[in-house]
Amino acid sequence: MLPSPSIKLPLYGAMKGTPSALVVGCCMVGTFVFYSAAPASAQDLLYPFDLSTSLSLRGGYEMKDGEGQNFFEAIPSISATRADEDWTLSGSASATIDKYQAENGGVRGVNLDGAVEYQLSRQTSFDAAVSYSLDLPRLNNDDLPDDVAEAPLSQDFGARATLAHQFNKTGLEGRVGIARSQTGPTKLDDDSLVDNSDQNSWAFSAGGRASREITPIVSVFYDGEVSRSIYDQASAVLSAKRDGWTFDNRLGVSAAFKDRLSGEISVGQLRRTYDDASLDNVLTTSYGAAITYQLGNSASLEVNAGTALSPATIPGEPTKITDNLSIGFSQQINDRVGYSLSTEFGREHYQGSDRTAGQFGIGLEATYLINSYATAYAGYSYEVSEDSVDGGSRTNAIEAGLRFTRP
């Protein structure tokens, strides 16, 4: 299925801005105003939706390749849910506001999501979702030129629908999706503009899954999907339009051992073909995993892995192949104190090039529940990236913050 816009789980070093006593103090005052002034009429206005609001404030210090910077970030969010006997409606909105020492502060990202789930019968269900996001990368983003003055603003829209039916021990699922990706121009230090309109594209997908229960615990499945990508214009790097088809076929096993272990593992083939004969097709083995293991009543371990294709930015290569693996462990020590550990591995390579890149990151976060409305947390992260052509970078970061919630 087409990936809908979403924010990937970040390592803490990805968050930048500038904290100061004045800024933090103002935000803290704003936080209490935000929660104390939230009128009861807001809930009445959305009745019978259940409304929830939150605000996260965090700041810290980051050291990247020997250069240190302060950062500050605020993330306000709101969500609404309405559930009935057969259906559920939900929606959410959030914004990321940060200040990096070398840049002007402002809104870095906006995310809007909506979903509906409907149980047509005991065996048949339908769900659909839409999402929209705005993202403004920071100037030190590895994907931007070194002489960038203003980063490009990107917009992503996605919509999907799924219909599923269970026949005794056999399950069938059908999916359709549509996505739009659009990137604005990049301004360089000499005031020239890099036109990124060759990255703008539409994508349409259709797919499905057939599963068969082998035992009450274990099932096997086949998952297939085909998608069509249509670009607004030819790539400036390739001098060719990257319109084409993507085929993803996987066989896998899913399991659910009561409340302890659940998830699935799959392996298959990922193929990308292009309408333009000058572009080489891509064929690679793909992997997928999503496993959750509950260790007792207070700790859990999560493993996620996947293979994805994305447009390449180096000469002669239309597509980048990315393999990712992330592992996360969290534990609630008591009613107030908890912690989490996370690590992430990534590998980027190409069909017709020896160039490779890799990333590794590790993070630690501790949380303390102040009361039912506020949580304090602190964390450390380390990231390293290596590229066979451009070299690599290393980043260390420490941070602390407060998270306020109002259900």
Note the pLDDT tens digit of each residue in 163-178: 999 998 999 999 999 9
Rounded average pLDDT over 257-264:
89
Q: In this predicted model, which residue has the larger pLDDT, 131 or 32?
A: 131
Q: Among 46-50, 247-251, 319-323, whose mean pLDDT is lowest?
A: 46-50
Residue 28: the pLDDT is 36
Q: What is the pLDDT of residues 121-154, one digit of tens each?
A: 999 999 999 999 999 888 777 777 778 888 899 9
Q: In this predicted model, which residue has the larger pLDDT, 344 or 108?
A: 344
Residue 46: the pLDDT is 61
Q: What is the pLDDT of residues 74-119, one digit of tens each?
A: 999 999 999 988 999 999 999 999 876 556 678 889 999 999 999 9
> What is the distance, to the nearest Å, from the Cα of residue 203 to the centroid of all Cα atoms in its chain?
18
Residue type, 258: K
DSSP secondary structure string for all residues of 121-134: SSSEEEEEEEEEEE
Position 71 confidence tier, pLDDT thresholds 50, 70, 90: confident
**Do residues 326 and 306 touch, judged by C-beta distance below 8 A?**
no
Residue 343: the pLDDT is 97
Residue 329: the pLDDT is 97
Q: Which of 297, 300, 220 is nearest to 255 (CA)?
A: 220
Q: Quick check: 19 pLDDT over 60?
A: no
Alpha-carbon distance of 386 to 345, in angstroms, equals 12
What is the H or E stretch that residue 44 is in? helix 40-46
Q: Among 4-13, 139-148, 372-381, whose mean pLDDT is lowest?
A: 4-13
Residue 99: the pLDDT is 78
Q: Using CB atoms within 10 Å of the CB of residue 207, give its burial: 0 to 12 exposed, 13 to 18 middle, 19+ buried.
A: buried
Cis peptide before 48 (omega within 30 of 0): yes
Residue 139: the pLDDT is 77
Q: Which of 279, 283, 248 is nearest to 177 (CA)?
A: 248
pTM comes to: 0.80
Q: Which of 227, 258, 233, 269 is nearest to 245 (CA)?
A: 227
Residue 123: the pLDDT is 95
Position 17 confidence tier, pLDDT thresholds 50, 70, 90: very low
Position 37 confidence tier, pLDDT thresholds 50, 70, 90: very low
Residue 138: the pLDDT is 80
Compute how many other C-beta atoms are within 10 angstroms of the C-beta atom of residue 131.
19
Position 280 confidence tier, pLDDT thresholds 50, 70, 90: confident
Tokens of 193: 């503009």
Compute how many other C-beta atoms are within 10 angstroms of the C-beta atom of residue 216.
8
Residue 48: the pLDDT is 80
Alpha-carbon distance of 41 to 35, in angstroms, equals 13
Q: What is the pLDDT of residues 190-246, one digit of tens each?
A: 888 888 888 899 999 999 999 999 999 999 999 999 999 999 999 888 888 999 999
End-to-end, the C-alpha distance of the chain in Å comes to: 33
Sequence-ordered list of residues with C-beta below 8 angstroms from that of 303, at least 6 positions apart, any chain? 263, 289, 290, 291, 325, 326, 327
Considering the chain, what percentage of its residues have pLDDT values greater than 70?
Answer: 87
Compute how many other C-beta atoms are within 10 angstroms of the C-beta atom of residue 123.
12
Residue 43: the pLDDT is 53
